[in-house]
Amino acid sequence: RSLLLSGLAMLLQLAAPAQAANPLFTDVLTADPAALVHGDRVYLYTGHDEAPDNNGFFVMHDWLLFSSNDMKTWQRHGPVMKATDFKWAKGDAWAAHAIARNGKFYFYTTVRHKDDKPGFAIGVAVADSPLGPFKDAIGKALVTNDMTTQTKNDWDDIDPAVFIDKDGQAYLFFGNVVPKYVKLKPNMTELDGEIKTIDLKDFTEAAWVHSKGDIYYLSYACGFPEKICYATSRSIDGPWQYQGILNEIAGNSETNHQAIIEFQGKSYFIYHTGAVPPAEGRPSGGRFRRSVAIDPLHYNADGTLQRVIMTSE
């Protein structure tokens, strides 16, 4: 296909809203969803899997954005940022999370740090609009690997999830194997105090915190291959009570990664799956070729969550 035709096809895709069925998008591979409800729209930020078939690892350069006012029709906005926009990072646009504050939009990301600090780090970028473009807010990592933690795990600073509590205090949750959290200063770009670890059963990665009523929910990828588990607490500082599995292994992707939102009175569980069958002109899914899916989330009267089973719609 000529460059001109490819360019034209891309423009048409950006212009044409997609009608959602699971998985949401089949012509572009999306992973690690993070959704932001702002005004009357949902902004869905995703990672972008570009690994060819049978590749042995992730190939992820940038983050994509989709938005919707009904959770069915999705407008495509294209990439909002790439990992190397952080000058101190060398690539790997892994899981990210966007949040609104102070009339601005903060985008917390997982990226691989340049070789002076090997391993993953968390960056923070800022924009005046949820559509971006996002720019590095501080010119260095917000959380970086110093290899002095007890686990000596150079993936330990991944998968940021920010939560703003009712009193206005913001928290950054993150981690791989060992879940951690830390307060953020009101400017959202500096840590406030020490990083604490959390006692959570079977934690692998992909923390996400939300609240409903008086209950805090901490959902996360557990075990490997990953399921999504969750725990609840009456305080953001824990202790967290394990509540079980929320979503089973997602197709053949081996990882799973969730976002939980409430929009127009309904709750949604947004995650990724590798279960995209091959089709004409469409890449098949897999461990490093994932696709975002959305299903309704239902609460029981006692505040526990009903298990989410992937549907085809």
* CB 120, min distance to ligand FUB, A: 8
| 227-266 CB burial, b ≥16 within 10 A, e <16 | bbbbbbbeebebebeebebbbebbbbbebbbbbbbebeee
Q: Which of 25, 58, 63, 134 binds ligand FUB (CB under 6 A)?
A: 58
Phi, psi of 105 (to 5 degrees): -125, 125
Q: Does 108 bind ligand FUB (CB under 6 A)?
A: no
Task: By CB under 6 A, tell whether 205 contacts ligand FUB.
Answer: yes
Residue 94 lies near ligand FUB (rule: CB under 6 A): yes
- Toward ligand FUB, which CB reaches closer, 75 or 226? 226
Q: What angle do CA 277, 282, 288 make, to 5 degrees?
A: 65
User: For residues 219 and 204, is the Cβ–Cβ distance under 8 A?
Assistant: no
User: Phi and psi dihedrals of 62, rounded to 5?
Assistant: -140, 175
Shortest distance (Å) from residue 110 CB to ligand FUB:
5
Note the residue count of the chain: 313
**Residue 228 in the binding site for ligand FUB (CB under 6 A):** no
Task: Identify which of residues 47 and 123 has a Cβ nearer to ligand FUB in the complex.
Answer: 47
The reply to whether 255 sits near ligand FUB by the rule CB under 6 A is yes
Residue 55, helix vs strand vs coil: coil
Q: Say whether residue 32 binds ligand FUB (CB under 6 A).
A: yes
Give the one residue of 97, 113, 257, 289 binding ligand FUB; rule: CB under 6 A: 257
Q: Confirm or reject binding of residue 157 to ligand FUB (CB under 6 A).
A: no
Burial of 140 (0-12, 13-18, 19+ CB in 10 A): middle
CB of 202 to ligand FUB, least distance (A): 15
What residues line the site for ligand FUB (CB under 6 A)?
A: 31-32, 47, 58, 94-95, 110, 158-159, 205-206, 255, 257
